[in-house]
């Protein structure tokens, strides 16, 4: 298990939000934490400790009046820590290379390859052709419906028709270097992990998976290690002391390294 840091950017500020409350209309979200520091500050912080593979997520759509401010925050973080961080949010085949040129190690893609509720193979092949499999992370963030985990898109607001399963992981692993999976229903709530999801992901043996959502204590982190069979990397947002939470960053790193 590795610790994967995050820098979530919304309305031009580094924030921690409750995932299920994000709405494009009027750029709304319930906030757990709004930082006075910018993206570059956090990137330099992770760089100092040599923590790689974290993700920057742009949480505004390109149509938002805040989009350019959010994008500039992301670019400043990439410039501060070249090839140490991944970036996602509005990534397409025609802009993905610009983020790699700005210093991203990988681009993270969801909505571009899941369009109108379905997996768009044409766009999937386009993004792989644009950046290469080794520079691509597929975001398979999901929400529970009818006792199954469905992949969601458009900043976690729209359900696709695709249920997350070993078969889906096997198929999509052919196109990317890693998966990023937020358990959206518990994202930002620090109320415990989705154990059923962790169980399913932990029994799959393939490319690296970063799990995010619900980790609010060291007990939750240990539960992720157990249910994920030690195979899942961990992201902690609102519960981390860097974002006003109770979990000391240094202790998290030590536990994950064990």
Say if domain 6-257 classifies as CATH 3.40.50.300: no
Q: What is the mean pLDDT of residues 33-56?
A: 94
pLDDT over 80 at 116, yes or no? yes
pLDDT over 80 at 25, yes or no? no
Instruction: List Cβ neighbours of 153 (8 Å cut-off, separation of 6 or more).
Output: 110, 111, 114, 160
Q: What pTM was estimated for this model as a whole?
A: 0.93
Rounded CA-CA distance 219/97 in Å is: 40
Residue spans of the domains in the chain: they are 6-257
Q: What is the mean pLDDT of residues 192-205?
A: 96
Q: Could you tell me if 129 and 136 are in contact, meaning their C-beta atoms sit under 8 angstroms apart?
A: no
Q: What is the mean pLDDT of residues 37-50?
A: 96
Q: What confidence tens digit (pLDDT) does each residue in 135-173 have? A: 999 999 999 999 999 999 987 789 999 999 999 999 999
Instruction: List Cβ neighbours of 104 (8 Å cut-off, separation of 6 or more).
Output: 56, 78, 83, 85, 86, 87
pLDDT given for residue 173 in this prediction:
98
């Amino acid at each position: 298990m590795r610790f994967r840091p995050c820098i979530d950017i919304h309305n031009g500020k580094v924030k921690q939000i409750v995932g299920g409350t994000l709405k494009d209309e009027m750029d709304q979200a319930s906030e757990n934490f709004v930082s006075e520091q910018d993206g570059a500050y956090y990137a330099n912080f992770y760089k100092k400790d040599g923590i790689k593979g974290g993700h920057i997520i742009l949480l505004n759509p390109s149509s938002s009046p805040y989009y350019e401010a959010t994008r500039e925050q992301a670019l400043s973080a990439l410039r501060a820590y070249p090839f140490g961080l991944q970036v996602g949010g509005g990534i397409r085949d025609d802009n993905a290379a610009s983020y790699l040129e700005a210093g991203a190690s990988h681009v993270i893609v969801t909505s571009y390859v899941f369009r109108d509720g379905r997996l768009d193979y044409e766009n999937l092949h386009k993004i792989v052709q644009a950046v290469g499999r080794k520079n691509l992370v597929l975001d398979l963030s999901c929400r529970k419906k009818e006792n199954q985990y469905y992949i969601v898109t458009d900043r976690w607001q729209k359900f696709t028709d695709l249920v997350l399963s070993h078969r889906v992981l096997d198929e999509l692993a052919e196109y990317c270097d890693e998966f990023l999976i937020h358990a959206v229903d518990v994202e930002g709530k620090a109320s415990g992990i989705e154990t059923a999801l962790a169980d399913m992901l932990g029994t799959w043996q393939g490319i690296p998976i970063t799990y995010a959502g619900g980790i609010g204590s060291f007990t939750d982190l240990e539960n992720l290690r157990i249910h994920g069979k030690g195979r899942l990397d961990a992201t902690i947002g609102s519960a981390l002391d860097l974002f006003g939470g109770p979990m000391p960053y240094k202790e998290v790193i030590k536990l994950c390294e064990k």
